[in-house]
Structure 1
Amino acid sequence: MTTLVVIAKECLPGRVKTRLHPALTYEQAAELAAASLDDTLAVALALPANRRILAFDGVIPPPAAADFEIVPQISGTLDERLSAIFDSLSDSVLLIGMDTPQLTADLLDPVFTEWDDSTDAWFGAAHDGGFWALALGKPTPGLQRGHLIRGVPMSRPDTGDRQLARLRNAGLRVRHLPLLTDVDTIEDADAVARVAPHSRFAATFLAMRLEEPDIE
């Protein structure tokens, strides 16, 4: 039994995807973030999780999250917020972010079909040095899952390496998910839209490019 958690923030101008500015306006960046989140939620709905949660930082969840349990994120740094999510749940947990709209159900299928007694965790690294997915098995005596994350410096080029080392140093047997690109910059957005041309994200980005032919 696996609980799938999408961690996301409310897509408000000036609060999400600010590194896409000035190539995009803050309003456009928020609209693109919303499309990315909708794509992610659609993939989550297509996976055979027994429970789906949106760990949400905001006030108004997106309509696409209607079939999700909405759980507010705690305050604190990202490592603290991720730790709290894992510590609050008793099943195996797969956590994914909202910044990889190229994600498909097939990429995550092994977590649901190939997770056997030889695997303790799944890890999806991102090109920017972070990670887009982390799955941990059920808590075991003497090992709180939150301790595997708490204290790992986030949003750094070595975040993924540090997180992976933390898992391995704890003796976990880790399997890897595909390397993906987090959308942080306008170059990332263009690359991801090309990889996933049928996504909401790509359609939204293309419409913006047509409106603003000088976007670079």
Structure 2
Amino acid sequence: MAAASAPTIAVFARYPTPGEAKTRLIPALGPLRAAAVHAALVAHTLAAVRASGLPYAVHFTGADEAKVAAWLGPNVPLVAQPAGDLGQRLAAVPAPCLLIGSDCPGLTAAHLQAAAAIVADGRPCIGPAEDGGYWLLGLPRPQPQLFTDIEWGSASVFAATHARLPEAALLETLADLDRPEDLARWPQFLT
């Protein structure tokens, strides 16, 4: 199989508006601290992305581009997420790509480089998350069937995706920081 082009990392991130970011943490932290945890996770994700040396863009939602640019700083490529559910927004990213969120404290540049090498070789890959989702989906070519009829946010996302893409290389399983019980594992994100 011919090698595909090097993928671009698509970082999905929400502007950290209190009450709208990391809503599952709000009962434990309140809206301001939950939004601060989210902002710290986005900063961590962008540090790993930049350290990987791979091309990237932040696919944002929750605020206009000027507000997001002021938050993230200069020289961050920005793409507004289109309307629709998460599947429609993920499917809109052109391949080859590495689709990632911004809630995986264990993410490193090495994880991204390994996934990029697989995709550049023309193969898809998935990074399973401990909660049943995935922390990365790498696609050398468009795969729109992966994003329809998925119960987003559920413990079945990885299994449903892998069933549709059984040839995908499996990456290391990592954990997300989504729920109050996850906070004890990563206290450094409690700002």
Q: So what's the TM-score if we normalise by structure 1?
A: 0.77
Q: Is the 8 A contact 1:83 1:150 kept in 2?
A: no
Match of 2:68 in 1: 61
Kindly indicate whether residue 81 of structure 2 is the aligned counterpart of residue 70 of structure 1.
Answer: no
In the TM superposition, 1:166-185 aligns within 5 A as 166-168=164-166, 173-185=167-179
Q: Is the 8 A contact 1:102 1:192 kept in 2?
A: no
Q: Is the 8 A contact 2:96 2:119 kept in 1?
A: no
In the TM superposition, 1:1-216 aligns within 5 A as 1-49=6-54, 51-59=55-63, 60-61=67-68, 63-64=71-72, 66-85=74-93, 89=94, 91-115=95-119, 117=121, 120-137=123-140, 139=141, 144-168=142-166, 173-193=167-187, 202=188, 204-205=189-190, 207=191
Match of 2:3 in 1: none
For residue 103 of structure 1, what is the amino acid of its counterpart?
L
- Report the secondary structure of 2:149's partner residue: coil
Q: So what's the TM-score if we normalise by structure 2?
A: 0.86
* Cα distance in structure 1, aligned partners of 2:144 and 2:12: 15
Following TM superposition, by how much is the alpha carbon of 1:114 offset from its aligned partner in structure 2, in angstroms?
Answer: 5.0
Root-mean-square deviation (CA), in Å? 1.9
Following TM superposition, by how much is the alpha carbon of 1:65 offset from its aligned partner in structure 2, in angstroms?
Answer: 5.4
Q: Which runs of 5 or more residues in structure 2 are unaligned?
A: 1-5
**Aligned residues: percent identity?**
32
Following TM superposition, by how much is the alpha carbon of 1:116 offset from its aligned partner in structure 2, in angstroms?
Answer: 6.0
Q: Is the 8 A contact 2:7 2:120 kept in 1?
A: no
For residue 36 of structure 1, what is the amino acid of its counterpart?
L
* Rg comparison, structure with higher value: 1
Q: Alpha carbons of 1:65 and 1:155: their partners in 2 closer, same or farther (altered >3 Å)?
A: farther
Following TM superposition, by how much is the alpha carbon of 1:113 offset from its aligned partner in structure 2, in angstroms?
Answer: 3.9
- Report the secondary structure of 1:81's partner residue: helix
- How many aligned residue pairs are there? 182
Question: Residues 110-159 of structure 1: CA distance to partner in whole angstroms, max 9, x if unpaired?
Answer: 12345564x6211011111111110001x3xxxx4223223322111111
Match of 1:213 in 2: none
For residue 82 of structure 2, what is the amino acid of its counterpart?
I
Match of 1:196 in 2: none
For residue 14 of structure 2, what is the amino acid of its counterpart?
K
- Report the secondary structure of 1:5's partner residue: strand
* Cα distance in structure 2, aligned partners of 1:148 and 1:97: 16
For residue 152 of structure 2, what is the amino acid of its counterpart?
M
Q: Is the 8 A contact 1:48 1:112 kept in 2?
A: no
